[in-house]
């Protein structure tokens, strides 16, 4: 399950992200409303955990924008506001659930899991990822480039999925490890390089540039102009 965490409290963000990651969830985190909405509108997340008070754009405004875009992401609002009218306003903005600060991490996890289980995408189109001539079927775990089917292992498919979900972004080896090998604690960052080389061999086509770029000192990026 992919989680988007939008919270301006740096320490709380780090704590929540660590707890969610330890549960095997993939977490992206940002600290302001505009950046959070930008990520949310890419439609890559199963659940978004959103603080009410944020710089740039507040939580209810983000919820309204996500719902206006027709995205199926489940939305959980975090806030210190406990009045009935505040809860109503939060839910009316499009949030699926509401959690009052301070909260227990066990309750947060339970609510995130519940939202992930019951939130069903409105369209089967969300099960297909497309970028250039790359097409990934999320349900069948199949992939093709143009008319050519890609014979990928489970790990190679997960790696390609992560790259496609973050087009043009420089992704660190640690981020890739967290997503692709999230349940394995003893995996070394060098394994990312090995699987990138495997994936490159299967993606590369004669006369076309390598779509996976090495970002020196960081990790890798899927070049949107090369797929």
pLDDT in tens, the chain (227 residues): 899 999 999 999 999 999 999 888 899 999 999 899 988 988 889 999 999 999 988 999 999 988 887 788 999 999 887 677 777 887 888 888 888 888 899 999 988 988 887 664 444 445 678 888 899 987 788 999 988 999 999 899 989 988 988 888 898 988 888 778 764 557 788 899 999 999 999 999 888 889 999 999 899 999 988 88
Among 214, 211, 212, 219, smallest CA distance to 174 is for 219
Question: Full-prediction pTM beyond 0.85?
Answer: no
Q: CA 119 to CA 22: how far, in whole Å?
A: 22
Q: Which of the listed residues 99, 118, 137 is the one where a domain comes to its end?
A: 118
Residue 109 maps to which CATH number?
3.40.50.2300
Last-in-domain residue among 84, 99, 118:
118
Largest Cα separation within the chain, whole Å, is 63
Dist CA 48 CA 104 (whole Å): 18
> Which structural domain range is residue 8 located in?
2-118
Are 162 and 180 in contact by the 8 Å Cβ rule? The answer is yes
- The answer to whether residues 129 and 212 belong to one domain is yes
- H runs (alpha helix) in the chain: 10-22, 33-40, 59-68, 84-92, 105-118, 154-165, 173-180, 190-203
End-of-domain residue from the set 118, 142, 175: 118
The domain total for the chain is 2
Q: Same domain, yes or no, for 113 and 137?
A: no
102 and 209, same domain (yes or no): no
């Amino acid at each position: 399950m992919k989680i988007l965490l939008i919270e301006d409290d740096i320490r709380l963000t780090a704590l929540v992200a660590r707890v969610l990651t330890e549960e095997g969830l993939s977490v992206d985190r940002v600290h302001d409303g505009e950046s959070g909405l930008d990520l949310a509108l890419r439609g890559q997340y199963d659940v978004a955990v959103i603080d009410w008070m944020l710089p740039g754009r507040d939580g209810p405004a983000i919820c309204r924008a996500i719902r206006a875009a027709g995205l199926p992401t489940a939305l959980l609002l975090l806030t210190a506001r406990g009045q009935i009218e505040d809860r109503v306003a939060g839910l009316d903005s499009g949030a699926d659930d509401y959690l009052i600060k301070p909260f227990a991490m066990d309750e947060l996890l339970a609510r995130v899991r519940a939202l992930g289980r019951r939130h069903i995408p409105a369209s089967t189109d969300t099960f297909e990822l497309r970028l250039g001539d790359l097409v990934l079927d999320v349900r069948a775990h199949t992939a093709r480039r143009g008319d050519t089917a890609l014979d990928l292992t489970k790990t190679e498919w997960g790696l390609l999925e992560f790259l496609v979900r973050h087009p043009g972004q420089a992704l660190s080896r640690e981020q890739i490890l967290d997503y692709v090998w999230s349940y394995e604690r003893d995996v070394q960052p060098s394994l990312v390089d090995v699987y990138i080389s495997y994936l490159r061999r299967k993606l590369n086509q004669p006369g076309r540039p390598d779509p996976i770029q090495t970002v020196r000192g960081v990790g890798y990026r899927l070049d949107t102009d090369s797929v």
